[in-house]
């Protein structure tokens, strides 16, 4: 039981079920930050529902001491959409993976995003199918050798951020499982956003795809391969903060800040309200291992838009229809046209 | 000269664009208000506008009205309105010998004759094809144009009123009032007064034409007296409307909000359409991206404490199968209204069939029984949806309510129940838990094996459930073999216990014991009823019983089956219920299948009854 007067802590959001994820799995870190965020937001455990589909990450609801439903493969977003439509006052969170959300549930993904119900989607992307033991996923890199791609993957990988923006996403962010504090900040912003927020997490699977994101997380390489997006700040990256990005027309160009001809004023200033720029940023999708001088992979909040939510619009229509009072059962049964037999 | 008749069956047939559905509906409205009993059945192509003038473009609306109870649109019709040659060609075989044909001669020109496949020089009105019928040849388009010449409407708009001219003739011929139609037209075209007045003028012109022309003077008019019906206030409903209202009424009665997650599919779409117009009653509809989302959004809403439903037809039920299994293992209430159509695959999307019984009974992986109800008439769609909701809520289970394309689109008068006439629906919610209370057990069952519904937002009931097997009572994930066996058994027993509230099966008509029992289910009710009535009049030892509850069966079904030497089972499929009956009761019924995308007619069944009794 929780005392609703005092603020809850992450511990209050911890269920009595022990997480059954592999040691070293990135999911542990996400779970911790999720619970921290719920506590940070001052949520009450009874007002939260965590919904999931199938996959390793989709076991998450069992480990959070709120209400939770673990559904069927790919359908978490549909289930959450129905729940949120019926009960707009609940805080609804969806835990889903790259296979669950983007492959079997791809159709629900694009339609949920465009409807913009006020829900938070935590999308664990480990570029592999973990629970089914190591088949490639829609985000796996070309050439990845797996049990179903012994000669290397020939499917071109899906770009989650670009897909989400293209589907009309109103909050789109990407974080790394190892950036705990940063993840917590982004989660909080996501939760505070009214609309469907998507946070894609690059999450390491130590068993079937270990090191998939090392290029973005290794201490030596991280500074050159990633760029952290900060509102109103210029796009600067590199170990010595020596590289910047400027726009040449619509073309992003890496510039050397040591070059005396380059001024800080020339750099691209991040604006999370700018959809055009968010789309260009989404295109920073090169693989640093195979592309020379590639653009850094952006982390943080790409885009935020204030747009009406589905449940609010529906509730408004209902309120309008009920302006003169709710319909009675008698009125419903009678319909519009009746006659009497005596 | 006015001849009195006890019942008349009429077919309005024309091109898809001729407004035959509207004409038929108007006629139905008029006879309903006038007080006869009636049953209607629209029959239209699956193409929105098949090529004009061709057989595949023929749209029909059949209805029967009568001064005694009417259960079907009529096996054959007494009068046919043929707006063009194709309509005549497509339907002549179903016109009673000596019946009336009202032919729009403007629809029998060279082009129409060619498109209908008669050939330009081979007009069926002239070549002897219709010599055995009473034929009235009327240039409907020409006469409508003359009548509406001074309205100022374009010829195109005037021609649209031709169906109302025909309707006027029919009203005259059957001595019916035209006022109901005039009122409806005024309401329908509230914002287009000129269109309303033109249509009204066309109806009157048709009526006056009947009065004035010499054509009918030899033949005379007919009248059908109002039926003696139970006093009360009536409305007309189609099966789909009735299903929608039944769900909404159930939610109201249970004190719940109705949520419908759905994807449009013929012939089930009107349920979604009707409910989307009931916002005044707080109904939330969610037009999902696909059938799977339709059922899953409903499961989410049900988990959240709404009365959740989804509606679909055959192929959609297949897509919902995995979701139904989830709802079954979660043990949350859910109503699935499945409006059966011809299958398999896309099959005959606008034609009725009863062939989703197996998928409703067994179409899930694992052991996942769910209650199944089948509606027997358009009005019964209301009561079936209502009862499905009651069972779903009170037993915390998904329930499948089967209707079909025939019931869904057919209409009949409904005696409007009062709220008190409707059975109570009592959801059992888990109550808020205080700090010192024992731990909450989401899968603790009552004496009927039913768990309580826990509303998110209730303090102290926080729990996690899902599609993984649950530990008895705690609901925690469990792979324990014994526990899985126990949970499988408990879920099945709960569904079997629904039989406790299923009313005993009654003999609809005929002796309690005898030679032959005709056992039907669903929409075959009307045809079987009339067939058995007629066979009884002919002195046969035959009775009729009709199943609404297909899972679980009424408890006395076995006893009833034992009271007859033979059991005949007509079904609009290749014999699905017969498998269930054979399996459960170890008897060998006689199957009787019709899979033509058409409902049975009473004559087919009566002939079968006679055949069987001869062999006994």
Share of chain B above pLDDT 70, in %: 99
Contact A46 B459 (CB under 8 A): yes
Specify the pLDDT at position A127: 97
C-alpha separations of B429 from A183, B117, B154, B393 in Å: 38, 65, 62, 10
Q: What is the mean pLDDT of residues B586-597?
A: 96
Tell me the per-residue pLDDT of B371-381, one tens digit each, with 9 for 90 and over. Answer: 999 999 999 99
Specify the pLDDT at position B556: 98
Quick one: which H or E segment has residue B494? helix B481-496
Share of chain B above pLDDT 90, in %: 93
Q: According to the 3-state scheme, what is the secondary structure of B511-532?
A: CCCEEEEEEEEHHHHHHHHHHH
Would an 8 Å CB–CB cutoff place A62 in contact with chain B? yes
DSSP class of residue A216 equals H
Q: What is the mean pLDDT of residues B330-355?
A: 96
Would an 8 Å CB–CB cutoff place A14 in contact with chain B? no
Distance from CA of B386 to the nearest CA of A (A): 12
Query: Which of B280, B296, B457 is facing A75, going by the closest CB pair?
Result: B296
Can you tell me the distance from the alpha carbon of A130 to that of A151, in angstroms, rounded to the nearest whole number?
19
Would an 8 Å CB–CB cutoff place A104 in contact with chain B? no
Record the pTM.
0.95
Per CB-CB distance under 8 Å, the chain B contacts of A75 are: 292-293, 296, 323
Q: What is the pLDDT along chain A (342 residues), one digit of tens a residue?
A: 444 557 899 999 999 999 999 999 999 999 999 999 999 999 999 999 999 999 999 999 999 999 999 999 999 999 999 999 999 999 999 999 999 999 999 999 999 999 999 999 999 999 999 999 999 999 999 999 999 999 999 999 999 999 999 999 999 999 999 999 999 999 999 999 999 999 999 999 999 999 999 999 999 999 999 999 999 999 999 999 999 999 999 999 999 999 888 888 999 999 999 999 999 999 999 999 999 889 999 999 999 999 999 999 999 999 999 999 999 999 999 998 899 988
Q: pLDDT band at residue B80, thresholds of 50, 70 and 90?
A: very high
Categorise residue B463: left if φ over 0, alpha if ψ from -120 to 50, beta otherwise.
beta
Nearest Cα residue to B162 out of B371, B32, B18? B18
Tell me the per-residue pLDDT of B245-254, one tens digit each, with 9 for 90 and over. Answer: 999 999 999 9
Q: pLDDT band at residue B46, thresholds of 50, 70 and 90?
A: low
The pLDDT of residue B344 is above 80: yes
Would an 8 Å CB–CB cutoff place A85 in contact with chain B? yes
> CB-based contacts of A275: which residues, under 8 Å, 6+ apart?
A165, A303, A305
Angle formed by the axes of helices B291-303 and A76-86, nearest 10°: 50
Distance from CA of B258 to the nearest CA of A (A): 9
Tally the residues of chain B: 616
SS3 (DSSP) at B439 = coil
Specify the pLDDT at position A5: 57
List b or e across B270-285, with b for residues whose CB sees 16 or more CB atoms inside 10 angstroms: bbbbbbbebbbbbbbb
DSSP class of residue B163 equals H
Tell me the per-residue pLDDT of B174-232, one tens digit each, with 9 for 90 and over. Answer: 999 999 999 999 999 999 999 999 999 999 999 999 999 888 888 889 999 999 889 99
Query: Which of A64, A85, A340 is facing B297, going by the closest CB pair?
Result: A85
Would an 8 Å CB–CB cutoff place A337 in contact with chain B? yes
Contact B477 A62 (CB under 8 A): yes
Q: pLDDT band at residue B435, thresholds of 50, 70 and 90?
A: confident
As to burial, measured by CB atoms within 10 angstroms (0-12 exposed, 13-18 middle, 19+ buried), residue A22 is middle
Q: Tell how far CA A310 is from the center of its chain.
A: 18
Distance from CA of B233 to the nearest CA of A (A): 4
Q: What is the average pLDDT value for chain B, to the nearest integer?
A: 95
Specify the pLDDT at position B220: 87
Q: Chains A and B: how many Cβ contacts under 8 Å?
A: 211
The backbone torsions φ and ψ at residue B224, rounded to the nearest 5 degrees and listed phi first, read -125, 120
Tally the residues of chain A: 342
Contact A1 B468 (CB under 8 A): no
Q: Are the C-beta atoms of residues B237 and B270 closer than 8 Å to each other? A: no
Residue of A nearest to B460 (CA): A1
Beta bridge partners of A304: A171
Can you tell me the distance from the alpha carbon of B459 to that of B440, in angstroms, rounded to the nearest whole number?
11
As to burial, measured by CB atoms within 10 angstroms (0-12 exposed, 13-18 middle, 19+ buried), residue B24 is buried
Tell me the per-residue pLDDT of B511-533, one tens digit each, with 9 for 90 and over. Answer: 999 999 999 999 999 999 999 99
User: Using CB atoms and an 8 Å cut-off, which of residues 298-317 of chain A contact chain B?
Assistant: 314, 317
ipTM above 0.90, yes or no: yes
Per CB-CB distance under 8 Å, the chain A contacts of B322 are: 72
Q: Are the C-beta atoms of residues B491 and B328 closer than 8 Å to each other? A: yes
Per CB-CB distance under 8 Å, the chain B contacts of A47 are: 456-457
Q: According to the 3-state scheme, what is the secondary structure of B276-320?
A: HCCHHHCCEEEECCCHHHHHHHHHHHHHCCCEEEEEECHHHHHHC
Per CB-CB distance under 8 Å, the chain A contacts of B305 are: 86-87
* B129-B134-B139 Cα angle (round to 5): 85
Query: Which of B234, B253, B468 is facing A338, going by the closest CB pair?
Result: B234
Tell me the per-residue pLDDT of B540-550, one tens digit each, with 9 for 90 and over. Answer: 999 999 999 99
Residue of A nearest to B35 (CA): A341
Contact A72 B245 (CB under 8 A): no
Specify the pLDDT at position B42: 86
**Which of A78, A84, A88, A323 should be substituted to probe chain B, the one whose Cβ sees the most B Cβ atoms within 10 Å?**
A78
> CB-based contacts of B190: which residues, under 8 Å, 6+ apart?
B196
Can you tell me the distance from the alpha carbon of B603 to that of B616, in angstroms, rounded to the nearest whole number?
20
Query: Which of A61, A318, A339 is facing B33, going by the closest CB pair?
Result: A339
């Amino acid at each position: 039981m929780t005392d609703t007067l005092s603020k809850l802590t992450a511990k209050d959001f911890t269920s009595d079920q022990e997480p059954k994820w592999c040691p070293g799995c990135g999911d542990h870190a996400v779970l911790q930050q999720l619970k921290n965020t719920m506590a940070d937001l001052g949520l009450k455990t009874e007002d939260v529902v965590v919904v999931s589909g199938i996959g390793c990450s989709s076991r998450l609801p069992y480990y959070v001491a709120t209400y939770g439903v673990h559904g069927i493969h790919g359908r978490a977003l549909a289930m959450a959409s129905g729940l949120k439509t019926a009960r707009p006052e609940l805080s609804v969170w969806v835990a889903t993976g790259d296979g669950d959300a983007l492959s079997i549930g791809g159709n629900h993904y694009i339609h949920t995003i465009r409807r913009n119900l006020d829900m938070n989607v935590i999308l664990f992307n480990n570029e592999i199918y973990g629970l089914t033991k190591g088949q490639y996923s829609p985000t796996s890199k070309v050439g990845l050798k797996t049990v179903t791609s012994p000669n290397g993957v020939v499917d071109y990988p899906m770009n989650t951020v670009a897909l989400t923006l293209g589907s009309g996403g109103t909050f789109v962010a990407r974080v790394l499982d190892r950036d705990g504090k940063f993840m917590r900040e982004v989660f909080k912003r996501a939760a505070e956003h009214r609309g469907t927020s998507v946070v894609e997490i690059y999450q390491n699977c130590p068993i079937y795809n270990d090191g998939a994101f090392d290029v973005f997380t290794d201490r030596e390489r991280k500074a050159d391969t990633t760029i952290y997006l900060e509102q109103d700040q210029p796009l600067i990256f590199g170990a010595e903060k020596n590289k910047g990005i400027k726009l040449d027309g619509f073309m992003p160009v890496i510039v050397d800040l040591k070059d005396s001809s380059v001024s800080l004023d020339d750099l691209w200033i991040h604006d999370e309200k700018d959809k055009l720029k968010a789309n260009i940023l989404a295109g920073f999708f090169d693989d640093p291992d195979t592309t020379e001088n590639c653009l850094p992979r952006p982390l943080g909040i790409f885009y935020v838009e204030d747009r009406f939510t589905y449940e609010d619009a529906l509730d408004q229509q209902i309120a309008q229809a009920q302006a003169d009072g709710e319909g009675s059962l008698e009125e419903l049964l009678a319909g519009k046209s009746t006659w009497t037999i005596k | 000269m006015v001849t009195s008749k006890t019942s008349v069956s009429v077919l309005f047939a024309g091109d898809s664009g001729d407004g035959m559905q509207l004409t038929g509906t108007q006629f139905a409205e008029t006879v309903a208000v006038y007080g006869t009993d009636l049953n209607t059945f629209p029959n239209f192509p699956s193409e929105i506008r098949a090529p004009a003038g061709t057989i595949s473009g023929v749209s029909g609306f059949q209805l029967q009205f009568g001064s005694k109870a009417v259960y079907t649109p009529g096996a054959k019709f007494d009068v046919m309105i043929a707006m063009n040659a194709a309509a005549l060609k497509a339907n002549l075989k179903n016109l009673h010998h000596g019946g009336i044909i009202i032919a729009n001669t403007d629809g029998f020109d060279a082009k129409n004759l060619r498109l209908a496949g008669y050939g330009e020089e081979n007009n069926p009105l002239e070549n002897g094809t219709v010599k055995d019928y009473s034929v009235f040849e009327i240039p409907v388009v020409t006469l409508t144009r003359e009548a509406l010449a001074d309205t100022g409407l374009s010829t195109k708009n005037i021609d649209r009123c031709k169906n109302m001219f025909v309707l006027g003739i029919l009203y005259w011929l059957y001595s019916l009032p035209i006022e109901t139609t005039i009122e409806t037209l005024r309401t329908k075209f509230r914002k287009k007064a000129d269109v309303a007045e033109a249509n009204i003028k066309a109806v009157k012109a048709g009526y006056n034409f009947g009065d004035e022309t010499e054509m009918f003077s030899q033949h005379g008019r007919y009248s059908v007296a109002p039926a003696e019906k139970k006093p009360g206030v009536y409305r007309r409903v189609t099966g789909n409307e009735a299903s929608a209202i039944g769900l909404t009424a159930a939610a109201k009665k249970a004190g719940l909000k109705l949520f419908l997650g759905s994807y449009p599919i013929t012939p089930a779409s009107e349920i979604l359409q009707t409910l989307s117009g009931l916002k005044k009653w707080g109904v939330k509809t969610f037009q999902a991206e696909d059938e799977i989302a339709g059922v899953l959004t409903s499961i989410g809403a049900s988990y959240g404490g709404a009365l959740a439903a989804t509606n679909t037809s055959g192929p959609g039920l297949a897509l919902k199968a995995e979701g139904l299994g989830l709802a079954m293992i979660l043990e949350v209430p859910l109503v699935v209204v499945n409006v059966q159509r011809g299958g398999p695959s896309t099959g005959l999307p606008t034609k009725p069939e009863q062939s989703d019984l197996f998928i409703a009974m067994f179409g899930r992986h694992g052991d996942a029984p769910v209650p199944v109800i089948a509606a027997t008439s358009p009005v019964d769609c209301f009561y079936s949806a209502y009862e499905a909701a009651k069972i779903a809520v009170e037993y915390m289970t998904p329930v499948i309510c089967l209707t079909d394309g025939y019931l869904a689109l057919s209409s009949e008068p409904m005696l409007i129940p009062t709220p008190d006439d409707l059975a109570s629906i009592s959801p059992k919610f888990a109550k808020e838990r205080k700090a010192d209370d024992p731990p909450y057990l989401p899968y603790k069952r009552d004496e009927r094996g039913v768990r309580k519904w826990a509303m998110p937002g209730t303090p102290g009931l926080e729990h996690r459930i899902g599609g993984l097997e649950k530990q008895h009572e705690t609901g925690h994930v469990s792979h324990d073999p014994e526990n899985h066996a126990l949970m499988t058994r408990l879920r099945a027993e709960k569904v079997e216990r629904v039989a406790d509230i299923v009313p005993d099966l009654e003999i609809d008509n005929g002796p309690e014991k005898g030679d032959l029992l005709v056992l039907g289910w669903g929409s075959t009710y009307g045809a079987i009823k009339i067939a058995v009535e007629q066979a009884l009049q002919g002195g046969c030892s035959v009775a009729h019983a009709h199943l609404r509850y297909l899972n679980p069966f009424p408890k006395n079904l076995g006893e009833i089956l034992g009271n007859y030497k033979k059991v005949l089972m007509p079904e609009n499929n290749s014999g699905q219920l017969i498998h269930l009956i054979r399996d459960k009761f170890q008897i060998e019924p006689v199957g009787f299948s019709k899979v033509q995308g058409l409902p049975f007619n009473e004559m087919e069944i009566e002939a079968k009854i006679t055949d069987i009794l001869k062999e006994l």
